[in-house]
Structure 1
Amino acid sequence: MAIQQLRLLQATDHGGGQSVKTRAGEVLADPGGDYEALHRQLKQRFNARPGKEYGRFSEDIGSHPFQGWLADYLDGRQDFQAFSDRVLSQWQDEIGRAEAEIDSPLVLVHESLADGEVIYLFALEMDPIFQLDSALELHPAHSISLTRLNLAARIEIHDWRGDHGSANYLTLLQGRGTGERGRCFARLVGFQREVDVGQETRTFLEAVESYASQSEPEEAQKVRNRAYEFCNEQEALGEPVPLSALSGYIDDTEPERFANHVAQEQALPPDSVLHPDRRKLRKLVRISGKGNGLSLSFSSDLVNQAVHYDRDRDALVITQVPRSLKEQLQSYLDQGE
């Protein structure tokens, strides 16, 4: 990992008719050390977060000038400081129009990797803390959360500006509960959705189930497990799911078999790339449900082994009861005697 440029930016609106205050850190070229560590952890959180959206820059450049400023920076018409100054000014305008108090420091990063260049924009989450001074007096302060990340964007430069550019070069993380702050952030980068993640998730699940149904139950479950494993690995890398690579992972003896099946059943070419929601893919490996005061979840591998469903009686028989559950049941029954 090599950070070419990094800068911290902050615009603060505490409401009450006050003007939005801004401040910016120094432009850091190849900062190393703590900044590299912070960026690495933010990237890991970004890649691991499910529910990301995929798209491109809005065509309305007048309302969303971020892409124009970025192009000017990449083409050498302005330096990183001028580019980041404009981003901060736009962020100031966005939160100034918002009907909410917003105070989110931003980290703007230009990273150069072996396979291309990437621009990241992270909105830091801050945790309140107390510090002790030399006189043992408490002073309130804030620290950067390394476990929470709710707003971030990634721009794959080659996919955006290459000869055969992708339509999905801009990835947006907009976590639940971000509200007006999240809408301001999406407007700042000019995000325009191009991928229906819900539909692609359904397509993926249907393709895997259709393929798995051709095999005996034990082999079918192996297919589901490997499909889920592959998607988890791609999610950890922050990458989508290429059908051709998934096909080879599912069956390395016949690496094109799954992709050919999907091409026939789902009319998707083997070079297709999907963006399934990992949270909804758990149904490939787990069976769960709740209602009427009951909540159950178990590995699908246990069906007809430790979990047996009697269709005629609509009854579920569980053997090899987990120890903790058994102890709770015994304790409860003992109390009733």
Structure 2
Amino acid sequence: MPIDNSIVHQIHKKPDGQPASLTLRDAELGNSEALEQLLAGLIEAYNSKPNKAWGYFHEESGAYPFSGWLQQLLDEEQDFVGFTKQSAEHLKTLMEGSNLALGGHVLFIRYRQGMTAFLIIALLHHTEGVTVTDDLEVAAARHLDLSALNMAARINLTEWKQNAASKQYISFIRGRSGKRVSDYFRDFIGCIEGANPEQETSTLLQAFQDYVGEADLPSDQLKDKTKAMSGYVSGQARQGEQVALEELSGLMDEEQPRAFYDYIRNKDYGLNPEIPPDKKTLNNFLKFYGKADGLSISFEAHLLGDRVEYDESDDSLVIKHPPKGLIQQLRNKRKP
């Protein structure tokens, strides 16, 4: 992934209500192997976060100036260093209004992935660890803790400029369980939440169920289409990419590549051509799971009606060809 520009600044702030301060870097970072490794690790950590939201820019205003500064950068009316200094100052001001906000290193990287340009912004913190030196001594080692990443946003610059109607060219990490700790970071970007990954994925899965249900497919074809659908959606979620419905349709049926796509359009499920995937919603669709009174059962959804049958009349499950390891344990238990 070619890096066009990168820089890091530092905001000093503790979650105690005290004023924040800022240390600014005056020049861009030079490209290096270490920087490329940092970007790769950052993207991997960012993509793995399940609690992301997607959206688009507020109209530029005094409260939401970031998109205007970014436009000036893209129009070459301002250089990258100046853009990031303005942005870091604005972030510092917003952090001072949040008692829970904690300072850190603010990393800005503009990079390209294929034909698409991105800007990623992340608030990074250090963690203490240990290492073994070349002299075989044990020593303290301080490094960036990407596993604890919880303040970051990524802007698809290409999508923003080429598709003005899009409402999902920004993604950012959202606070878990209704926590509003990250609200100041969302407001710093000036993002309005648009697409809801859980809801969009649920709608896609409902459309898939309706589609294969109306087609009344044999079990082997149903299994193949489910595998193609789940594999693609899961892969896009893992890479932090959106699900392109037309591409998904082609993977599900090479002979009629637009069949599923046209079905979604004609039935008016309200889905955009590209949607953000939610892996948890997909996993819940693909598996049945239950646990109670010392009994735990889990199986993949496609096995229902095949190796697993549910009899509603007497509320029982029949499992055919159970795992060999389980069978052996049962046989051993029966031995005198």
Instruction: Using structure 1 for the length normalisation, give the TM-score.
Output: 0.85
Q: Secondary structure at the match of 1:102?
A: coil
Alignment of 1:186-225 (within 5 A): 186-213=186-213, 214-225=216-227
Identify the residue that residue 71 of structure 1 maps to in structure 2: 71
Which has the higher mean CA deviation after the structures are superposed, 227-236 or 295-304? 295-304
Tell me the SS of whatever aligns to 1:112: strand
Aligned to 1:233: 235
Residue 317 of structure 1 pairs with residue 315 of structure 2: no
Please name the residue that 2:260 is paired with.
Answer: 258
Q: Counterpart of 2:290 in 1: which secondary structure?
A: strand
Measure, in 2, the Cα distance between the counterparts of 1:160 and 1:124. 25
Between the aligned partners of 1:62 and 1:320, the Cα distance in structure 2 is 66
Structure 1 CA distance, aligned partners of 2:10 and 2:101? 13
Which residue of the other structure, out of 242, 245, 248, is the alignment partner of 2:247?
A: 245
Give distance in 1, aligned partners of 2:329 and 2:67: 58
Indicate conservation of the 8 Å contact 1:52/1:171, yes or no.
yes
- 1:94-126 Cα offsets, whole Å, 9 max, x none, are 221111251332211111344132111122253
| 1:94 partner amino acid | L
Structure 2 partner of 1:168: 168
Q: Structure 2, unaligned stretches of length 5 or more? A: none
- Greater alpha carbon shift after TM alignment, 291-300 vs 96-105: 291-300
CA distance 1:20–1:177, shift in 2 (3 Å): farther
Is the Cα contact below 8 Å between 2:245 and 2:273 reproduced in 1?
yes
2:112 counterpart SS class: strand
Deviations 1:18-49 (A, max 9, x none): 43132234533551210111101211222333
Instruction: Quote the offset at 1:60 in angstroms.
Output: 5.3
- Higher mean C-alpha deviation, range 175-184 or range 281-290: 175-184
Secondary structure of 2:227's aligned partner: helix
Q: Give the drift of 1:268.
A: 5.2
- Identical-residue share of aligned pairs (%): 25
Does the CA contact (< 8 Å) of 1:207 and 1:266 recur in 2?
no
Q: Is the 8 A contact 1:150 1:178 kept in 2?
A: no
Amino acid at match of 1:286: K
Residue 127 of structure 1 deviates from its aligned partner by 2.7
Tell me the secondary structure at the aligned position of residue 10 of structure 1.
strand
Which residue number corresponds to residue 95 of structure 2? 95
- SS of residue paired to 1:107: strand
Secondary structure of 2:147's counterpart equals coil
Q: Is the 8 A contact 2:207 2:269 kept in 1?
A: no
Distance 2:269 2:135 in 1: 71
Q: TM-score, structure 2 length as denominator?
A: 0.85
Q: What CA distance in whole angstroms lies between the structure 2 residues aligned with 1:332 and 1:217?
A: 35
Which amino acid in the other structure matches residue 299 of structure 1? E
Q: Distance in 2 between matches of 1:34 and 1:308?
A: 54
Letter in 1 for 2:121: L
Cα 1:176/1:243, change in 2 over 3 Å: same
- Say which is worse superposed, 276-285 or 225-234, in terms of deviation: 276-285
C-alpha separation in 2, matches of 1:154 and 1:245? 23
Describe how 1:1-337 pairs up with structure 2 within 5 A: 1-16=1-16, 18-25=18-25, 27-28=27-28, 31-59=31-59, 61-100=61-100, 102-130=102-130, 142-162=142-162, 166-176=166-176, 179-213=179-213, 214-267=216-269, 272-291=273-292, 294-322=295-323
C-alpha distance in 2, partners of 1:290/1:141?
43
Instruction: Give me the whole-angstrom Cα distance separating, in 2, the residues matched to 1:331 and 1:66.
Output: 67
- Checking the alignment, whether the CA contact within 8 Å between 1:224 and 1:284 is kept in structure 2 is no
The root-mean-square deviation of aligned C-alpha atoms, in Å, is 3.2
